[in-house]
């Protein structure tokens, strides 16, 4: 069952509005689930969604059909709808989901989005109303009667779940007290009412659900035993002092230093294949989720053309560090997207095919990486399985070391790893496949330093991507440049013209894992309250209120690239109008000489260092000391730094 989520059928009674129901379904469908699940939320009294046809079908080619059944309407008096029923629903959801070794995204979609949505009124939806479950005030006599596990060919009743998981045992009496088993007191004291008591009263049951959700058990198909007991007996191999593994899947842990790196280099040299090979190798060690080539290049256009167009973010760990990895596009037409990705890197892996050697985008990517502040680079010479002459490989290595020195990197000391990402992916020729991936990651661990983060400065995150989650709001994602942001903090959206937008961050996710705070270096998604998707655009910044302003006019110190460096062949004069790139933003601008310049008619030639005044078409969030790149006609013309804000 590992890696595949079977159909889930829930017997029980829920009542929700059409808008609320659709919002939940949308949340599941848009979570980019890596498996191909078929979810069914169903009942004998089941899900009643007002205004929906019965049964109501959703289908999506990526995920297969999402089946929703409405078998009969469940009539119950309002007096039967109690708060305790809501708690029971949470427990049942958690208990059932704990039986699956599903992928994190599926956990997130079903538990995080679905359970939260069911437990709370959605403030963003006018038509939403509270969810009612019908059952008596007891966790064993709840109307959510059974969960059918199709692939395990068995049924788990809610009462079985609660009995099988020895968290609470009922104590008869008027106070409805539940005893905590003594052997679990030390490990699960967070569920207790008081330090010395071994009882947990009804409100404490809410805390059980995330605990149950996070404990993963492997099931074997064909078992007719109670799956939970089967899992405990056969998989966990523990006795009376049994303790569920607390692997909180949906929470982002900061147990290792975090570093942002990426793959850069010429188109078709194997950057995406190498990224996939890294996840495969680390997945074998339990340090990543394996992503195939197609899962990194997700867009239909990317798959059709076999090239990366927009930067893709993946995550993995080594023994020493946690990595956020950006797979950058190498095609000349998509350098703009590469700059956005490279602006978020602390170090980089430059991929060069042994069959081609260095190519135009190899050189341009190195230059851009230098300009956005990447200090250290590791070289991976790919496709060596296609080269028979060892002297050819030596030549490629010498060329790359020279090129690194040219662009100000330490070419003589930089690690150069030679291997084949394809062999690593296919599990062939370990000497040039898997072993070389290990060598590469060891070199990255040792050569690329762990950066110092600006945690004390005011929070700032440059927006790289924007998307919306129906019923919840708009999410802005990007790399946090500095500071720390906690949930429910007030923030401002600045840049891309218009007024400053004030909002509140209601949730924070890092790699689809919920976290209480976002800090410098993280790639985070921020859920913004009351903001429409069209109000947020790439290039804006999310910042602490009052700390950043947008500007239209500022002084820049530029170095104009020579023809050999990929720049212009000829010079330019005042009122030159290229595109300017700042952080993740790009904006048309005009360049003028300062008012006190001696000769305003002179030509600025390739190779010159020059001070100029930049006037943007639309204001952006700009600060003194910020790096800029100037591009025109598909090439980088100049690079530099903002020296002074004028207006």
pLDDT of 517 reads: 81
User: Encoding tokens for residue 397?
Assistant: 């290595």
Q: What is the mean pLDDT of residues 88-114?
A: 33
Name the residue with higher pLDDT: 539 or 342: 539
Q: Which residues of 404-425 are buried (b: 16+ CB within 10 A; e: fewer)?
A: beebebebeebbbbbbbbbbbb
Q: What's the whole-number mean pLDDT along residues 476-494? A: 86
Indicate whether 150 pLDDT > 60: no
* Domain 460-543 class in CATH: mainly beta
Question: 258-447 and 460-543 share one CATH topology?
Answer: no
Q: Read out DSSP for 388-416?
A: --HHHHHHHHHHHHHHHHHTTS-TTTS-E
Domain ranges, ordered by start, for the chain: 8-236, 258-447, 460-543, 550-645
Average pLDDT, integer, range 540-568: 85
Residue 594 has pLDDT above 60, yes or no: yes
- Share above pLDDT 70 across residues of the chain, in percent, rounded to a whole number: 53
Min mean pLDDT across 47-51, 172-176, 265-269, 578-582 is at 47-51
Give the burial class of 437: count Cβ atoms within 10 A of its Cβ; 0-12 exposed, 13-18 middle, 19 or more buried.
buried
Look at 24 and 260; give whichever has higher pLDDT. 260
Residues 415-425 have pLDDT tens digits of: 999 999 888 88
Residues 421 and 432: their CA atoms lie apart, in Å, by 8
Q: 639: pLDDT confidence band, cut at 50, 70 and 90?
A: confident
Most confidently predicted of 149-153, 295-299, 450-454: 450-454
pLDDT in the model for residue 253: 59
Predicted confidence (pLDDT) at residue 103 exceeds the cutoff of 60: no
- Average pLDDT of span 513-521: 79
pLDDT surpasses 70 at 101: no
Bigger pLDDT: 569 vs 566? 569
Other CB atoms within 10 Å distance of the CB of residue 506: 17
DSSP sequence for 113-136: IIIHHHHS--TT-TT----EEB--
Name the one residue in this structure whose structure tokens are 């084949």: 420
Q: In which band, very low, low, confident or very high, does the pLDDT at 378 lie, cut at 50, 70 and 90?
A: very high
pLDDT over threshold 50, residue 23: no
Q: What does the pLDDT average to over 486-514?
A: 81
Check pLDDT > 80 for residue 31: no
Tell me which of 74-83, 347-356, 365-374, 628-637 is least confident: 74-83
Mean pLDDT confidence for 252-271: 78
199 has pLDDT over 60: no
pLDDT value at residue 502: 87
Give the pLDDT of residue 559: 85
Closest to 132 measured CA to CA, from 17, 18, 10: 17
More confident residue, 240 or 472: 472
The residue to which tokens 């104009």 are assigned: 560
Fold of 550-645: Elongation Factor Tu (Ef-tu); domain 3 (2.40.30)
Task: Establish whether 506 is a catalytic residue.
Answer: no
Whether the pLDDT of residue 500 is over 70: the answer is yes
| Range among 34-48, 166-180, 237-251 rated most confident | 166-180
* pLDDT at 187 > cutoff 80: no
Rg of the chain on CA atoms, in Å:
28
CB-based contact 380:415 (threshold 8 Å)? no
Inform me whether the pLDDT recorded for 15 exceeds 70: no
pLDDT band at residue 190 under the 50/70/90 scheme: very low
In the predicted model, what is the mean pLDDT of residues 40-44? 28
Token digits of residue 560? 């104009």
Right CATH for 258-447 from 3.40.190.10, 2.60.40.650, 1.10.1740.10, 3.40.50.300: 3.40.50.300
Biggest alpha carbon–alpha carbon distance for the chain = 94
Whole-number percent of the chain with pLDDT over 90: 3
In sequence order, the β-bridge partners of residue 326 are: 262, 313
Active-site annotation holder among 124, 137, 268, 535: 268
Segment 595-601 mean pLDDT: 77
| Annotation says 331 is catalytic | yes
Write down the pLDDT at residue 294: 57
Establish whether 169 is a catalytic residue.
Answer: no
* 271 catalytically annotated: yes
C-alpha–C-alpha distance, residues 582 and 113, integer Å: 35
Give the active site residue among 271, 325, 365, 552.
Answer: 271
pLDDT at 193 over 60: no
The catalytic position among 163, 234, 331, 487 is: 331
β-strands 347-353, 376-382 pairing: parallel
356: helix, coil or strand?
coil
Beta strands in 71-218 (DSSP E): 132-133, 146-149, 154-157, 169-171, 177-179, 199-200
> Mean of the pLDDT values across residues 226-245?
28
Among residues 133, 263, 272, 503, the one annotated as catalytic is 272
- Residue bearing the bigger pLDDT, 489 or 120: 489
Predicted pLDDT of residue 292: 64
Q: What share of the chain is helix, strand, coil (3-state, %, to 5)?
A: 25, 30, 45
């Amino acid at each position: 069952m590992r890696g595949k989520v079977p159909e889930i059928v829930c017997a029980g009674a829920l009542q929700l509005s059409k808008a609320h129901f659709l919002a939940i379904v949308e949340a599941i469908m848009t979570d980019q689930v890596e498996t191909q699940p078929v979810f069914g939320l169903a009942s004998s009294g089941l899900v009643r969604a007002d205004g929906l046809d019965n049964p109501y079908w959703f289908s999506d080619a990526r995920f297969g059909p999402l089946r929703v059944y409405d078998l009969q309407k469940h009539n119950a008096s309002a007096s039967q709808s109690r708060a305790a029923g809501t708690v029971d629903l949470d427990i049942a959801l958690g208990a059932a989901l704990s039986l699956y070794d599903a992928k994190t995204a599926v956990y997130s979609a079903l538990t995080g989005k679905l359970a939260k949505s069911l437990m709370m009124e959605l403030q963003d939806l006018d038509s939403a109303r509270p969810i009612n479950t019908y059952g008596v005030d007891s966790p064993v006599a709840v109307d959510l009667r059974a969960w059918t596990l199709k692939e395990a060919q068995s049924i788990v009743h809610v009462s079985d779940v609660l009995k099988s998981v020895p968290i609470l045992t009922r104590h008869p009496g008027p106070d409805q007290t539940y005893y905590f088993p003594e052997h679990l007191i030390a490990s699960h004291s967070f569920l207790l009412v008081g330090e010395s008591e071994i009882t947990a009263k009804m409100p404490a049951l809410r805390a059980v659900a995330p605990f149950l959700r996070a404990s993963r058990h492997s099931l074997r198909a064909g078992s007719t035993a109670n799956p939970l007991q089967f899992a405990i007996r056969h998989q966990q191999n523990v006795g009376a002092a049994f303790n569920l593994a607390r692997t909180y899947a949906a929470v982002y842990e900061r147990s290792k230093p975090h570093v942002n790196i990426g793959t850069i280099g010429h188109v078709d040299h194997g950057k995406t294949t190498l990224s996939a090979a890294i996840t495969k190798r680390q997945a074998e060690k339990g340090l990543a989720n394996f992503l195939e080539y197609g899962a990194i290049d997700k867009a239909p256009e990317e798959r059709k053309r076999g090239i990366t167009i927009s930067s893709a973010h993946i995550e993995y760990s080594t023994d020493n560090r946690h990595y956020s990895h950006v797979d950058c596009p190498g095609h000349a037409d998509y350098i703009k997207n590469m700059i956005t990705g490279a602006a978020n890197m602390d170090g980089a892996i430059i991929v060069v095919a042994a069959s081609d050697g260095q190519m135009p985008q190899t050189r341009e990517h190195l230059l851009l990486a230098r300009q956005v502040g990447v200090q250290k680079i590791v070289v991976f010479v790919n496709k060596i399985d296609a080269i028979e002459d060892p002297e050819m490989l030596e030549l490629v290595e010498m060329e790359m070391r020279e090129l690194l020195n040219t662009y100000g990197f330490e070419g003589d000391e930089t690690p150069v790893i030679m291997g084949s990402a394809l062999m690593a992916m296919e599990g062939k020729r370990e000497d040039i496949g898997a072993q070389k991936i290990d060598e590469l990651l060891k070199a990255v661990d040792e050569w690329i330093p762990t950066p110092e983060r600006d945690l004390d400065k005011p929070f700032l995150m440059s927006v790289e991507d924007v998307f919306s989650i129906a019923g919840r709001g708009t999410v802005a994602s990007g790399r946090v440049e500095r500071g720390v942001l906690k949930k429910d903090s007030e923030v401002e959206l600045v840049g891309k013209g218009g007024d400053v937008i004030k909002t509140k961050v209601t949730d924070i996710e890092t790699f689809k894992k919920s976290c209480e705070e976002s800090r410098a270096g993280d790639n985070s998604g921020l859920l913004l309250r009351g903001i429409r998707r069209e109000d947020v655009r790439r290039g804006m910044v999310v910042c602490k209120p009052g700390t950043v302003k947008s500007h239209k006019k500022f002084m820049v110190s530029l170095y104009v690239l020579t023809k050999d460096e990929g720049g212009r062949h000829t010079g330019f004069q005042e009122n030159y109008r290229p595109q300017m790139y700042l952080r993740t933003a790009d904006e048309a601008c005009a360049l003028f000489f300062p008012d006190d310049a001696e000769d305003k008619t002179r030509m600025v030639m390739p190779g010159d260092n020059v001070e100029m005044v930049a006037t943007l078409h639309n204001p952006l969030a700009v600060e003194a000391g910020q790096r800029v790149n100037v591009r025109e006609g598909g090439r980088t013309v100049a690079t530099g730094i903002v020296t002074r804000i004028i207006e």
